[in-house]
Chains A and B, each alone.
Chain A
Amino acid sequence: MSEWMVLVIAVIYLLALFFIAFQSEKYFARFSNNGFVYALSLMVYCTAWTFYGSVGYASTDGINFLAIYTGPLITIPFWWLVLRKMVRVTKTMRISSIADFISIRYGKNGRLGTLVAVACFVGIIPYIALQLKAIDNSVSIISEQISFDSSVFIVILLTVFAILFGARNVDANQRKPGLISAIAFESLVKLFAFLSVGVFVVYGLFNGWFDLFSQAAEKLDMNQLSTLSGDGDFADWFFISLVSAIAFLLLPRQFQVGSVEAGKEEHILTAMRVAPIYLLLINLFVVPIAFAGLILSPDSNSDFQVLSLPLLSGNGLLAMFVFLGGFSAATSMILVSTTALSTMMSNYVFIPLILKSKKEEAAERTDYHNILLFWRRISIVIIMLLAFSYFKFLTSKESLVSIGIISFIAVAQLAPAFFGGLYWKRANNKAATAAIISGLSIWFLFLVLPNIALELSDIFHNALFEAPNNIVTAFTEHMGLSRTSASIIMSLMANVLLYVYFSLATNQSAKEVNQAELFVDIYKYSKSYDSSVAWRGTAYFPDIKSLLNQFIGKDRTDTVLDRYARRHGIDWDANPKVDARVISYAERVLTGIIGPSSARIMVSNVVEEEEIGLNDVLNILQESQEALRLNRELQLKSQQLAKATEKLTSANAKLQEFSDLKNEFLYTVTHELRTPITSIRAMAELLEDHAEMPNEERAQFVGNIIYEAERMTKLISNVLDLEKFESGNQQLERAALDLKILIKEEVQALNPLIGNRNIEVKTEINSHLEPVFADEERIRQVITNLLSNAVKYCDQNEGLILITAYCQDDYVKVNVSNNGSGIKQEDISNIFDKFYQVKHQSVKKPTGHGLGLAICKNIIEMHKGKIGVELAYGMVRFSFSLPVYRK
Chain B
Amino acid sequence: MKNPRKLKLVVVGTMLLLALHYPIISFFSFEKLVFGIPQLFFYLFSLWVVLIIVIIKLTTDIKHSNLDREDE
Decide: B21 and A217 in contact? CB cutoff 8 A. no
A78 within 8 A of B: yes
**Known contacts A226-B39, A238-B22; is A75 also within 8 Å of B13 by CB?**
yes
Q: Is the CB of B41 within 8 A of A226?
A: yes
Once the chains bind, are B59 and A273 in contact (CB under 8 Å)? Answer: yes
| Residue ID in chain A nearest B11 by CB atoms | A77
B contact residues around A75 at 8 Å (CB): 13
B37 proximity list for chain A (CB < 8 A): 209-210, 213
B6, B31, B41: the one within 8 Å of A80 (CB): B6
> Interface-forming stretch among A227-235, A760-768, A839-847?
A227-235
Partner of B31, one of A84, A223, A234, A273: A223
User: Which residues of the partner chain A approach B30 to less than 8 Å between Cβ atoms?
Assistant: 227
Could you tell me if B9 and A80 are in contact, using CB atoms closer than 8 angstroms? yes
A229 to B31: give the CA distance in the assembly, Å.
9
**Min distance, Cβ B34 to any Cβ of chain A, angstroms:** 10
Known: A76-B51, A280-B45, A280-B48. A234 touches B38 (CB 8 A): no
Given contacts A77-B55, A237-B22, whether A63 and B40 have CB atoms under 8 Å apart is yes
Q: Tell me how far the C-beta of B57 lies from the nearest C-beta in chain A, rounded to whole angstroms.
A: 10
Given contacts A77-B16, A272-B55, whether A523 and B6 have CB atoms under 8 Å apart is no
Closest to B36 in A: A210
Indicate which residue in B40, B41, B49 contacts A280 across the interface (CB closer than 8 Å).
B49
User: Which residues from chain A contact B6 at a C-beta distance below 8 Å?
Assistant: 80-81
- Where chain A touches its partner, the secondary structure class is helix
A648 at the interface (CB under 8 A from B): no
Neighbour of A78 across the interface among B9, B36, B52, B62, CB < 8 A: B9
Given contacts A78-B10, A81-B9, A238-B22, contact A276 B45 (CB under 8 A): no
CB pair A73–B25 under 8 Å, yes or no, is no
Contact A273 B56 (CB under 8 A): yes
The answer on a CB contact under 8 Å between B17 and A227 is no
Q: Are B13 and A70 in contact (CB under 8 A)?
A: no
**Which parts of A72-91 form the interface with B (CB within 8 Å)?**
73-78, 80-81, 84
Minimum C-beta distance from A728 to chain B (A): 40
Chain A residues near B36 (CB, 8 Å)? Answer: 209-210, 213-214
Q: Check if A305 is an interface residue, CB within 8 A of chain B.
A: no
B49, A77: Cβ atoms under 8 Å? no
Which chain B residues lie closer than 8 Å to A234 at the CB level?
21-22, 25-26
The reply to whether A63 and B44 form a contact with Cβ atoms under 8 Å apart is yes
Interface string of A499-526 (1 = CB under 8 A from B): 0000000000000000000000001100
B63 close to chain A: CB less than 8 A: yes
A238 to B22, CA, bound (A): 8
Complexed CA–CA distance, A77 and B61 (Å) = 13
Complex contact B72–A523 (CB within 8 A):
yes
- Residues of A contacting B55 with CB < 8 Å? 76-77, 272-273, 276
Complex Cα distance, B6 from A506, in Å, reads 34
Residues of A within 8 A of B16 (CB): 73-74, 77
With A77-B16, A237-B21 as given contacts, are A266 and B10 in contact (CB-CB < 8 Å)? Answer: no
Complex CA distance for A226 and B31, rounded to whole angstroms: 7
* Chain A 179-237 interface residues, beta-carbon cutoff 8 Å to B: 209-210, 213-214, 217, 222-223, 226-229, 234, 237
- Cα–Cα, bound, A284→B72 (Å): 39
Contact B33–A228 (Cβ < 8 Å): no
Alpha-carbon gap, A209 to B42, bound state (A): 12
Q: Closest Cβ of chain B: how far from A148's Cβ, in Å?
A: 43
How many residues belonging to B are interface residues under a CB distance threshold of 8 Å?
A: 38
Interface check A872, CB cutoff 8 A: no
CB pair A217–B72 under 8 Å, yes or no, is: no
Q: Which of A80, A214, A223 contacts B62 (CB 8 A)?
A: A80
The interface size of chain A toward B, counting residues with CB under 8 Å, comes to: 41
Interface residue? A543 (CB, 8 A): no
Cα A808 to Cα B6 with chains together (Å):
50
Query: In whole angstroms, how far apart are the Cα atoms of A841 and B49 in the complex?
Result: 77
Q: B38–A77 contact, CB under 8 A?
A: no
Pairwise interchain contact B29-A228, C-beta atoms closer than 8 A = yes
Q: Contacts A74-B13, A213-B36, A237-B21 known; A222 to B31 CB distance under 8 Å?
A: yes
Q: Is the CB of A272 within 8 A of B59?
A: yes
Taking the closest CB of chain A, its distance from the CB of B37, in whole angstroms, is 6
Docked Cα-Cα span, A255 to B31, in Å, equals: 39
Do B20 and A241 touch across chains, with their CB atoms under 8 A apart?
A: yes
**B56 contacts across to A, CB distance below 8 A:** 273
Q: Taking the nearest CB of chain A, how far is it from the CB of B7, in angstroms?
A: 10
A222–B22 alpha-carbon span in the complex (Å): 20
Contacts of A227 in B (CB 8 A): 29-31, 38-40
Report chain A residues within 8 Å CB of B62.
80, 269
> Which of A229, A237, A280 makes the CB contact (< 8 A) with B52?
A280
B20: nearest chain-A partner, CB-CB: A70
The reply on A287 being an interface residue by CB < 8 A is yes
Beta-carbon nearest neighbor of A76 in chain B: B55
User: What residues of B have a CB within 8 angstroms of the CB of A226 in the complex?
Assistant: 31, 38-41
**B29 touches which of A214, A229, A524 (Cβ 8 Å):** A229
Q: Is there contact, CB below 8 Å, between A284 and B33?
A: no
For residue A823, CB closer than 8 A to chain B, the reply is no
A63 touches B41 (CB 8 A): yes
Chain B residue at minimum C-beta to C-beta distance from A77: B13
Q: A574 at interface (Cβ–Cβ under 8 A)?
A: no
Q: Is the CB of B26 within 8 A of A78?
A: no
CA distance A66 to B67 in the complex (A): 34
Q: A226-B39, A266-B67, A280-B45 are in contact. Are A74 and B31 (CB under 8 A)?
A: no
A691 interface contact, C-beta 8 A = no
Per the bound structure, the CA–CA distance linking A228 and B41 in Å amounts to 11
CB neighbours (8 Å) of A29 from chain B are none
Asked if A265 CB lies within 8 Å of chain B CBs, one says yes
Q: Which of A76, A213, A284 contacts B45 (CB 8 A)?
A: A284
Per-position contact with B for A800-842: 1 when CB-CB < 8 Å, else 0? 0000000000000000000000000000000000000000000
Contact B25 A77 (CB under 8 A): no
Instruction: Tell me, in angstroms, the Cα distance from A593 to B28 when the chains sit together.
Output: 52
Which residues of chain B are within 8 angstroms of A222 by Cβ–Cβ distance? 31, 38
A277 interface contact, C-beta 8 A: yes
Question: Ordered nearest first, which 9 A-B pairs have the shortest CB separation?
Answer: A77-B13, A226-B38, A210-B36, A523-B71, A234-B22, A227-B29, A269-B59, A77-B9, A77-B12
Apart from A77-B55, A213-B37, list 5 A-B contacts with CB within 8 A: A74-B16, A74-B20, A84-B70, A217-B33, A277-B52
Q: Which residues of B contact A (CB under 8 A)?
A: 6, 9-10, 12-13, 16-17, 20-22, 25-26, 29-31, 33, 36-41, 44-45, 48-49, 51-52, 55-56, 58-59, 62-63, 67, 70-72
Q: List 13 A-B contacts (CB under 8 A).
A: A63-B41, A63-B44, A73-B16, A74-B16, A80-B62, A214-B33, A226-B38, A228-B40, A234-B25, A238-B22, A270-B59, A276-B51, A276-B55
